Structure 1
Amino acid sequence: MTAKTLHIPTADGRADAFAAFPDGGERCPGVLMYADGFGIRPVLREMARELAGHGYYVLVPNVFYRNGPAPVIDLPEYIGDGARAKVFEQLMPLIEAHTVERVLSDADAYLGFLTAQPEVVAGPVAVTGYCIGGLLAVRTAAAHHGQVAAVAAFHGPVGADGPDSLSRLTGEVHFGHAETDLAPEALGELNRALDAASVSHTSEIYPGTRHGFTMSDTDAFDPAALQRHWDRLLPLLGRTLADG
């Protein structure tokens, strides 16, 4: 396994990013992975390595690069419930400043960089994201529907941009929702919008979960839900990406 820090040229500077991919010199499909709001840190690097070990080139950009390299804010080693309020007090201005225009401009740069890497095979890519990264994944896939074959988002506000955004998705979709994030009625509304747009999808609430259930450095972590996430994500990528 090769893992390294890279820098992605963008319209507003250079975004630092973490990349992981298999050793051996063979080209593999590309996956753009958006971190949760806490950003690139050991747990995200671990997840990127895990995914790369299944035969993918995984690129995790620091979406808040305009404010400095990751970690953009000081994070405790373990983000317990007692630390969340202070952390989010620092994060929310960054999230609010990350406009749709910035997201889409950066997505162009990230995908262009990813597909230009010599280790990445020609063809479609996948985008996955966690928490706010789930919304960024949806926005990226909607704007690059001819290039993105699959999008997966976990405990993210994926419907925040409304049905019009969902209708632009053409790849296969999986949304894994936290039980505390989405009521069954809201899930039904979201899934009806996906059905109306003829989007091939699975969209489900992971039972008993809290927002952030994939992240092992938080109080929300749920090991069974993390495994369920892999059980959904890996087959999705295998179906949609060449040589996956």
Structure 2
Amino acid sequence: MQIEHSNIILTTPTGPMLVYQYQPLAAATAGKTFPAILFYSEIFQQTAPIARSAAMLASHGFVVLVPEIFHELNPLGTVLAYDDAGKDKGNQDKWTKPLESYDSDNQAMLDYLKSLPYVRPEVGAMGVCIGGHLAFRAALNPAIKASYCLYATDLHSDTLPCGEGQQTLSRAADIQGELVMVWGKQDPHVSPEGRQKVHQQLTEAKVQFSWYEYNAQHAFMRDEGERYDAALALQNYQQAVALFRQM
């Protein structure tokens, strides 16, 4: 399916947020409706690999929104490089932005999607790295029907800034939709004990979830660099599309 791309700026309680929108070509005039996906990036924001991932999802018949996750902390349009300076800035931003601000970002995107007559009420969430955490975070909103979370960082540790009782994992019981958790066994950012903690919490909260662990590195979905695993990436795109088509 051919797609088109545009940029929009949404108003949030913490300032304007640039959002990249990908959707089937001429979706607004095609006489059809499409489900939507909120797609969350790594700490580097919308790099070329993230843009390609979003385009791939859109080409399967989804309206995909990619928010600038650190819009409060950078000029609009900022993309951080895959180098030490970019990593340091991204991690600094990650430790600065409160989790509650992502909640209001999500609501702004959900409200925007409701304004589009060609978008169905079914909305999913997907993300990689911190984006995996944010896709899990989005699932706390009952409007999110399914979430696909890839190697979610800082979920097991409950260490990202937030108010008391607002840690993401501790609120797992709020999840009403279906959840998919994907991990790389060789990922240094999430230990086996950390993965076990997430699994136990989801089980105790009676969340409907699926669980995959692969012999893979962190960022195995990123189609740049030596950690990329094309076969696993393709498998996970297929699984994600199947999940979102069942919303």
Could you tell me the TM-score, scaled by structure 1's length?
A: 0.86
**Amino acid in the other structure paired with 2:25:** D
How far is the alpha carbon of 1:201 from its aligned partner? 0.9
Once the 2 structures are TM-superposed, how far is the Cα of residue 116 of structure 1 from its aligned partner? 2.0
Distance, in Å, in 2 between the alignment partners of 1:188 and 1:168 is 20
Partner of 1:110: 109
Match of 1:13 in 2: 15
- CA positional deviation for 1:40: 0.6
Whether contact under 8 Å (2:146, 2:179) holds in the other structure is yes
State whether residues 172 and 205 of structure 2, in contact with CA within 8 Å, keep that contact through their aligned partners in structure 1: yes
Aligned equivalents of 2:98, 2:87: Cα separation in 1: 18
1:220 shift after superposition: 2.1
Q: What is the alpha-carbon distance in structure 2 between the residues aligned to residue 220 and residue 87 of structure 1?
A: 18
Q: Judging changes above 3 Å, is the alpha-carbon distance between structure 1 residues 114 and 219 closer, same or farther for their aligned structure 2 residues?
A: farther
State the Cα deviation string for residues 67-108 of structure 1 (Å, max 9, x = none). Answer: 1122344x2xxx3xxx3x332122222111111121122121
Contact (CA 8 Å) 1:8, 1:16: kept in 2 or not? yes
- 1:154 counterpart = 2:156: no
Structure (1/2) with the larger helix percentage: 1
RMSD: 1.8
Q: Would you say how many aligned residue pairs link Structure 1 and Structure 2?
A: 228
Find the partner of 1:127 among 122, 125, 128: 125
CA contact (8 A) 2:137 2:168 kept: no
- Counterpart check, 1:63 vs 2:73: no
Please state if 1:176 is matched with 2:182.
yes
Distance 1:16 1:29 in 2: 21
Read off the aligned partner of 2:53 and give its amino acid letter. M
Residue 243 of structure 2 corresponds to residue 236 of structure 1:
yes
- Aligned mates of 2:168, 2:201 — CA distance in 1: 9
TM-score normalised by length of structure 2: 0.85
Query: What is the distance in 2 between the residues matched to 1:30 and 1:200?
Result: 20
1:213 correspondence with 2:220: yes
Q: Secondary structure at the match of 1:211?
A: coil
The answer for the alignment partner of 1:2 in structure 2 is 4
Structure 1 spans left out of the alignment, 5+ residues: none
Select 1:195's aligned residue among 197, 203, 211: 203
- Once the two structures are TM-superposed, the CA of residue 149 in structure 1 deviates from its matched residue by 0.6
Is the Cα–Cα contact under 8 Å of residues 155 and 213 in structure 1 kept in the other structure? no
User: Quick one: percent identity of the two aligned structures?
Assistant: 22
In structure 2, the residue matched to 1:91 is 90
Which amino acid in 1 is paired with 2:147?
Answer: V
Give the direction of change, closer, same or farther, for the CA distance of 1:4–1:176 in structure 2 (3 Å limit).
same
Is the partner of 1:164 in helix, strand or coil?
A: helix
Shift of 1:213: 0.9
Whether the 8 Å CA contact 1:212–1:218 is kept in 2: the answer is: no
CA contact (8 A) 1:64 1:72 kept: no
Q: Secondary structure at the match of 1:216?
A: coil
- Mapping for residues 28-43 of structure 1, pairs under 5 Å: 28-43=34-49
